[in-house]
Amino acid sequence: MNETTFTFRVDENLKSDFSDAAKAHDRTGAQLLRDFMRSYVKDQQDAAQYDAWLQDKVRRSRASADAGNLIPAAEVEAQFAARRAKTRQHLERSR
């Protein structure tokens, strides 16, 4: 692995507090910063993958709707009303 130096400016008090907090957990500031950087990069990659998945899902859903694959709202409401009634019956019996 090629390593490089990452230099930036930070308030002296923040640096001191950060170093003390790191030492309290037997870590160095550099270790914590590398961990943070890895975590941040992964979070951004995960968010980008989710966004791509969601955009594809929306695109496919719109194409399906445009093709006429729709269920009338009244039918959907009736199906879920039946599910709610079944759940209520189950809850009543389990009391």
CB burial of 25-54 (b: ≥16 within 10 Å; e: otherwise) equals: eeeeeeeeeeeeeeeeeeeeeeeeeeeeee
Give the pLDDT of residue 71.
94
The answer to whether the pTM exceeds 0.75 is no
Give the pLDDT of residue 4.
93
Q: Does the structure show a pLDDT above 90 at 85?
A: yes
Q: Does the structure show a pLDDT above 90 at 41?
A: yes
Longest Cα pair distance anywhere in the chain, in angstroms? 66
Q: Does the structure show a pLDDT above 80 at 81?
A: yes
